[in-house]
Amino acid sequence: MRPEPVSFRRRLAAGEPLLGTFIKTPTVHTTEIIGSLGFDFVVIDQEHAPFNRVATDLILLAARAAGTAALVRVPSHAPELLLAALDDGAQGIVVPHVASADDARAIVAAARYRGGRRGFSNSPRAGGYGRAGVWEHVDASDSATAVIAMIEDPEALDRVDEIAAVDGIDAFFIGRGDLTVALQADSVDAPPVRAAVERIASAARAHRKPLCAHAGRLDTAELRWLRRLGVSCFVIASDQGLLRHAALDVETRFRELTSGT
């Protein structure tokens, strides 16, 4: 039987191999299709794609209908952005540019009720539109909400052990793209980036934090390297990337099959 979306945080903590993709197109259809195929989760990309709250809300509903977990990569640490994603029913948040332990503690506080400062309401989707009582909603939300910190800045590397030690940060997401640009490296596989990734992975292992990473495609050597470092949660490409790859394959095969006819 397929795991329930609400079990995402537990499965992440257990180190299960999890497959997801970024959603960059503000339509319900890609999430519905990807979820129905058996992907474990999707990440709605508010940071780099044109999502407003209404579009995010609809895609969270599509994910629920498709039986897949949905995370939201918020555009910043602002508490109101985290609150909106969680109230609308996200199973977790992916927060970019977490560069200090203070950042991490503020994010955890915004995402949790007990011991935190998350604004209470059980009237949105997360509270069953009022079905859940106050403390039922508080406990269910705190138990199920995954808080994932993106480590993607050079200054974060110097503080990565302090960030990993923050209680309530459930996992690290290794931001190889931003690290590549910040380190002025030739590619995500360049030695400085690989060294940074290994440093992040070492801190995660020391503090028993699961690791997430993005890969543009299913490259055997890359995935095996990331798995050896401890990555268990993989975001492969995006809805747009998967569409482009499939369409390019069709176009190439069509030209080959019709050449000379």
Task: Catalytic residue, from 48, 77, 207, 245: name it.
Answer: 48
Distance CA 36, CA 39 (A): 7
Q: How many CA atoms lie within 13 A of 102 on its CB side?
A: 0
Distance CA 5, CA 62 (A): 12
Q: How many CA atoms lie within 13 A of 68 on its CB side?
A: 28
Q: Under DSSP, is residue 116 helix (H, G, I), strand (E, B) or coil?
A: coil
**Contact present, 171 and 115 (Cβ < 8 Å):** no
**Contact present, 131 and 193 (Cβ < 8 Å):** no
**Contact present, 21 and 42 (Cβ < 8 Å):** yes
Active site residue 214: no
Distance CA 153, CA 150 (A): 9
User: What one-character-per-residue DSSP string does 210-236 give?
Assistant: -EEEEESS--HHHHHHHHHHTEEEEEE
Q: Which two tokens stand for residue 226?
A: 């990331």
Tell me the catalytic residues: 48
